[in-house]
Chain A
Amino acid sequence: QVQLVQSGAEVKKPGASVKVSCKASGYTFTSYGISWVRQAPGQGLEWMGWISAYNGNTNYAQKLQGRVTMTTDTSTSTAYMELRSLRSDDTAVYYCARDHRDYEDYWGQGTLVTVSS
C-alpha cells in the first residue's frame, strides 16, 4: 500500500531553516512527483510546490520562491523540503503528498513546524 512517512515535529527560531523529509513506499518512487502543502493553525491549505521524482524538476509557489528548495533522493525514495529564513507565519503543519496527474492522491501524516523565539 502507498505510504508517505514524514519526519517529526520541529521548533525553530525566526531566521533559521528547517528541512522536512518524506519517505515513500508501496509504489515506484520515480513514476510520480511529490507535492508539498502546508496548513497554518486553524487555517486552510496552501500549495507550496512540486518536484518530479523522475528528473528533479521543480515548480514552486511564487510566494515562496527564493526561500524553499525541494529535493529527492531516489536511492531511499525520500523527498525533502527545506524552508529558509523562517518567520512566525511559517508556523504550520507541512504535508507531503504523491502527485498524480497534478492532484495529490496520497498524503503523509504531516509535520508540525513551530517558529518561535
Chain B
Amino acid sequence: EIVLTQSPATLSLSPGERATLSCRASQSVSSYLAWYQQKPGQAPRLLIYDASNRATGIPARFSGSGSGTDFTLTISSLEPEDFAVYYCQQRSNWRTFGQGTKLEIK
C-alpha cells in the first residue's frame, strides 16, 4: 500500500498569507495525486487532480505541483473560507489518502 505523509500536521496562518502544504508518497505515484478540502461537518471537496489541474469551480488561488513522490498544494493568498483540513490522495495503486493538514487561523 502506498502511504502518503502530509506535513505539517497543523499550519497556522493569517488571511492574506501564502499557504504551502506538502504531501510525500512512499513510492512514486507519477502525477496521480489529488487534493481535497474538508470543512467541519461537510463532505470533502475536490480541489486539484492529476497533481496540478484545478477541479471545476476552484479559484485560481489554489494550485498544485509535483510529481513522483513529492507534491505541494499552494494557496496564494488565504481567504477566511480557506481554513479547513486538506487531504492528498493517490490513485496510482488502489487509492489512499494522507492523514490531513489542518489549516487554522493564526
* A103 contacts B44, C-beta separation under 8 Å: no
The proximity string for A residues 81-117 relative to B, scoring 1 for CB distances below 8 Å and 0 otherwise, is 0000000000000010100011111011110000000
Chain A residues near B99: list those with CB within 8 A: 44
Residue ID in chain A nearest B55 by CB atoms: A105
Interface residues on B, range: 20 to 34
* A47 contacts B94, C-beta separation under 8 Å: yes
* B91 contacts A103, C-beta separation under 8 Å: yes
Q: How many Å lie between the Cα of A8 and that of B105 in the bound state?
A: 33
Q: How many Å lie between the Cα of A18 and that of B22 in the bound state?
A: 36
Most buried by A among B50, B87, B97, B98: B97
* A103 contacts B49, C-beta separation under 8 Å: yes
* B49 contacts A107, C-beta separation under 8 Å: no
* B43 contacts A108, C-beta separation under 8 Å: yes
Minimum CB–CB distance for B75 against chain A, Å: 19
Minimum CB–CB distance for B92 against chain A, Å: 9
Interface on B for A, CB 8 Å cutoff? 1, 32, 34, 36, 38, 43-46, 49-50, 55-56, 87, 89, 91, 94-100
Having A47-B95, A62-B94, A108-B43, one finds 19 other A-B pairs with CB under 8 Å, namely A44-B97, A44-B100, A45-B44, A45-B89, A45-B100, A47-B97, A59-B94, A61-B94, A62-B1, A95-B44, A97-B43, A102-B32, A102-B95, A103-B49, A104-B36, A105-B55, A105-B56, A107-B45, A109-B43
